[in-house]
Amino acid sequence: MEIARPYLLFLGDVPDALAAKTAIGIVDWRKDWCLGQVRLEGCAADTGVPDMSIPDGASAGAKTMIIGAVNAGGLLPDRWVASIVEALDAGMDVASGLHAKLGDIPAIKEAADRNGRQLHDVRHNTMTFSTGKGSKRPGKRILAVGTDCSVGKKYTALAMDKAMSSRGYKSSFCATGQTGVFISGRGVALDAVIADFISGAAEWLSPETDEDHWQIVEGQGSMFHPSFAGVTLGLLHGSQPDGFIVCHEPSRTTMRGVDTPLPTIQQVIDATVQSGQLTNPDIRCVGIAVNTSALEDDEALAYLAKVGEQHGLPATDPVRYGMDAIVDKVSAEFGEP
Amino acid sequence: MEIARPYLLFLGDVPDALAAKTAIGIVDWRKDWCLGQVRLEGCAADTGVPDMSIPDGASAGAKTMIIGAVNAGGLLPDRWVASIVEALDAGMDVASGLHAKLGDIPAIKEAADRNGRQLHDVRHNTMTFSTGKGSKRPGKRILAVGTDCSVGKKYTALAMDKAMSSRGYKSSFCATGQTGVFISGRGVALDAVIADFISGAAEWLSPETDEDHWQIVEGQGSMFHPSFAGVTLGLLHGSQPDGFIVCHEPSRTTMRGVDTPLPTIQQVIDATVQSGQLTNPDIRCVGIAVNTSALEDDEALAYLAKVGEQHGLPATDPVRYGMDAIVDKVSAEFGEP
């Protein structure tokens, strides 16, 4: 799906910043796409962009109102419906990352039809994909992979995209999850695709491009997670990365939500190279991104130095220490921009 | 989905036996579930079970009429609709393996609602699954895997189930594809499940059972097929097999539908053991099933002897030479029934 911009961010009346994390993530990475935020009475979150009414947002040129708030169960509160209808009547599309589908609510469906506007439910997939072809496409790709789910793959890919661009590379971010789709304006929640089309969807989201253009692909799951490894493998085959970054969270002992022990970083490197060679024989690891937030600064630096030396690769915490070390590795392996 | 039996097989007016291969497959493996066949004027296929009218089938006790015919595009011809409505009005459920959904045709939907009957579209999934848990379940499992798609995994699993039963093992067949679902009466077309739930669906279809009960699981795709490997890996993790059989078709040089070269049997064994250990540390290969139909008898036997010796495993063609050699291996590895 392709989401028209600029955005107006709808926060509703969420009780805290955590419930607005989707909107906050969009502002973190794409502040210039966000004209303003709409907050209802009682809203306790603030993304930092100007407060606006829905008509003012429309007048300012907003093309899509993003429901940038979550709540328990992913439901759409009845009290938000009037605002969504107002946005559609004002000529905007509406996009949501909630589990509840916008089009399932009659008032919203009718308003969209009446105004000829689009509803985007990014957690649900309505696109049709081809099955994966497996043939090599022009362009260069880097995939974030992980020792587990929720270890910073999206952040790492976004930080890598930003660092590559600032170093003069042609670079773009390819989203495979819901917040990522808002941040890229295009993409697909890969875990919502029908199983037969995982690698085909991954091919669609990292399509043929210029030979010197780098697509930085958001990862999903882990090859070693018993719930989600199929998604991870289909994404690996479809995105056919030239390089990959292993993301790791050192305080985990078991995989998220299950009793399976965490794999080692080396196991992830080996499995990714072995499986990734099917669609890119030259695949290689270009770095390790560690979430060191549980460690003091000296501990974090010592840990990263140790991990880097063990694997002969740059190791960094993207939040604390940036991605320059991994961009250096890409330059050394694949050439300067 | 669970499909009520016995079945009445609807062949429509298909022009040849190939177009009735679903019905023929059901009769091959579950003849005692099939009370009769319904053939319209011009039908050129014959499954060998008695011809019946729809009312006679209902009177004989048929619980489900199976649309056991395919046509180009998987469409449902208008001229079959009256028969489907007649079956629903006679009190049967109707199950279809066509791409077209039964419930999308108003006359069929209305007849099902009117009679309180179920419509089963086995190519489409409407069930809700949990995500995979990855924890070990009681019971024993054998999975058919392949060097490619369409190399005899379903046939191998069905033949293994039959051979295990005839040797005194408690055994059942677990379906993961549409024809298999008709043959087992339960199952799911795994490639139609939402990606997040592949391994969860595989856990559902090979559930906890007696420790001495063997579930023989139909395989899907190949770990080395760039279109479908995600489905294959999710099935491997979810079915947590104790043993697996590698299925192979020696005349292939590239994977079905793509340009990717075929892996070796050893590569498939190694990759299946390596990935399968995540949910079953004791996973092992118990045999090799080869489709030797392109070879003369002496060539086939020589080929099987060579492949068996190379890998230190029993190698057979299930169609030509049965599965006893692989059941012997299971007995040696896991004990007599």
3-state SS, residue A186: strand
Establish how many alpha carbons lie within 13 A of residue B278's alpha carbon, considering only the half-sphere containing its beta carbon: 35
Which of A228, A236, A239 is best to mutate for the B interface (most B CBs within 10 A)? A228
CATH number of the domain where residue A257 is located: 3.40.50.300
Q: Is the pLDDT of residue B72 over 80?
A: no
What does the pLDDT read at residue A188?
87
Q: Residue B127: inside a domain, yes or no?
A: no
Q: What is the mean pLDDT of residues B208-234?
A: 97
Q: Is the pLDDT of residue A72 over 70?
A: no
* Of A135, A94, A304, the residue nearest B255 (C-alpha): A135
What does the pLDDT read at residue A154?
95
Q: Which residues of A touch B (CB under 8 A)?
A: 131-135, 190-196, 198-200, 223-235, 237-238, 255, 257-260, 271, 274-275, 278-279
A112 lies in the same domain as A145 = no
Nearest residue of chain B to residue A274 (CA atoms): B271
Query: Which of B194, B234, B271 is closest, CB to CB, to A229?
Result: B234
Query: Which of B226, B229, B278 is closest, CB to CB, to A224?
Result: B278
Contacts of A225 (CB under 8 A, 6+ apart): A148, A149, A232, A255, A256, A258, A260, B134
For residue A220, the enclosing domain spans 140-334
Here the tokens at position A101 are 């589908």
Here the tokens at position B15 are 């022009």
- Cβ–Cβ gap A227/B132 under 8 Å: yes
Rounded Cα–Cα distance for residues A292 and A295 (Å):
5
Identify the domain boundary among B121, B151, B167: B121
| Average of per-residue pLDDT values in chain B | 95
Q: What is the mean pLDDT of residues A85-95?
A: 98
Q: What is the total count of domains within chain B?
A: 2
Here the tokens at position A74 are 């992913």
| Pairing assessment for the beta strands B284-290 and B243-248 based on DSSP bridges | parallel
What would the pLDDT profile of B169-211 be if each residue is shown by its tens digit?
999 999 999 899 999 999 889 999 999 999 999 999 999 999 9
A38 lies in the same domain as A161 = no
- Cβ–Cβ gap B199/A228 under 8 Å: yes
A-B C-beta contacts closer than 8 Å: 137
User: Considering only CB atoms, which chain B residues are within 8 Å of A260?
Assistant: 134, 278-279
- Cβ–Cβ gap B224/A194 under 8 Å: no
What does the pLDDT read at residue B131?
93
Which alpha helices (H) appear in B105-197, and where do they start and end?
A: 106-115, 153-166, 178-184
A74 lies in the same domain as A176 = no
Query: Which of A194, A225, A259 is closest, CB to CB, to B135?
Result: A259
- Cβ–Cβ gap A278/B194 under 8 Å: no
What would the pLDDT profile of A158-217 be if each residue is shown by its tens digit?
999 999 999 999 999 999 998 999 999 998 899 999 999 999 999 999 999 999 999 999
| Average of per-residue pLDDT values in chain A | 95
- If pLDDT is split at 50, 70 and 90, which confidence band does A97 have? confident
B234 lies in the same domain as B319 = yes
**pTM of the shown model:** 0.92
Query: Which of A223, A228, A238 is closest, CB to CB, to B196?
Result: A228
Query: What is the number of other CB atoms lying within 10 angstroms of the CB of residue B15?
Result: 14
A325 lies in the same domain as A246 = yes
* Of B321, B287, B318, the residue nearest B301 (C-alpha): B321
- Cβ–Cβ gap A230/B271 under 8 Å: no
Which of A150, A196, A256, A274 is best to mutate for the B interface (most B CBs within 10 A)? A196
- If pLDDT is split at 50, 70 and 90, which confidence band does B326 have? very high
Query: What is the number of other CB atoms lying within 10 angstroms of the CB of residue A250?
Result: 17
Rounded Cα–Cα distance for residues A76 and A323 (Å):
37
Rounded Cα–Cα distance for residues B102 and B105 (Å):
6
Rounded Cα–Cα distance for residues A198 and A238 (Å):
8
A232 lies in the same domain as A293 = yes
Q: Residue B271: inside a domain, yes or no?
A: yes
Distance between B128 CA and the closest CA of chain A, angstroms: 13
Cα–chain-centroid distance for residue B215?
Answer: 13
Rounded Cα–Cα distance for residues B120 and B66 (Å):
9
A189 lies in the same domain as A292 = yes
Q: What is the mean pLDDT of residues A328-337?
A: 97
A152 lies in the same domain as A282 = yes
Q: Is the pLDDT of residue B1 over 80?
A: no
Q: Is the pLDDT of residue B61 over 70?
A: yes
CATH number of the domain where residue B21 is located: 3.40.50.720
Query: Which of B135, B227, B274 is closest, CB to CB, to A132?
Result: B227
Q: Dihedral sign, CA of A95, A99, A100, A103?
A: positive
B23 lies in the same domain as B144 = no
What would the pLDDT profile of B299-324 be if each residue is shown by its tens digit?
999 999 999 999 999 999 999 999 99
User: Considering only CB atoms, which chain B residues are within 8 Å of A199?
Assistant: 226-230
What would the pLDDT profile of B156-173 be if each residue is shown by its tens digit?
999 999 999 999 999 999
